Amino acid sequence: MLVLEDDEELRQAWVEALAAEGYAPVAGTDAAQALAQVTELAPDLILLDLVLPGEMNGFEFLARLRATPGVAQIPVLIVSALGEELERAMDRRGRTALGVAGIVPKPVDVPTLIGAVRQAIGPPR
């Protein structure tokens, strides 16, 4: 699992909590670097914040991911402060077409995040 979150404290808390549940999260902050890593990692899921530093934001990352053969099918769980607004803006068909497994609004507590991950990809393997 790839965790793309620019807030260091949140990212670290999520990585630790997911690892404690038995998942194997890898942390990232920069979407361009993460896009390069995705083919090597072949993650089961990407947790994606939409506001990221660097040359591309979460929306651009998602568009490039979907255009990259071999990794285009990886499900994405969006975790963003834009969550409720984004949820209203995207109809279900739009989310499905983009491979968005769900949208979790921030602030999010760890049990809610873990529940969303389990719903998206099931328990750790």
Q: Any idea what the Cα angle at residue 28 is, between residues 23 and 32, rounded to 5°?
A: 130
pLDDT tens readout for residues 32-67: 889 888 988 889 999 999 888 888 888 889 889 999
Q: Are 45 and 12 in contact (CB under 8 A)?
A: no
User: Among all chains, which residue has been given the structure tokens 């491979």?
Assistant: 99
Q: pLDDT per residue over 14-27, tens digit each? A: 999 999 999 999 99
Overall fold of domain 2-121? Rossmann fold (3.40.50)
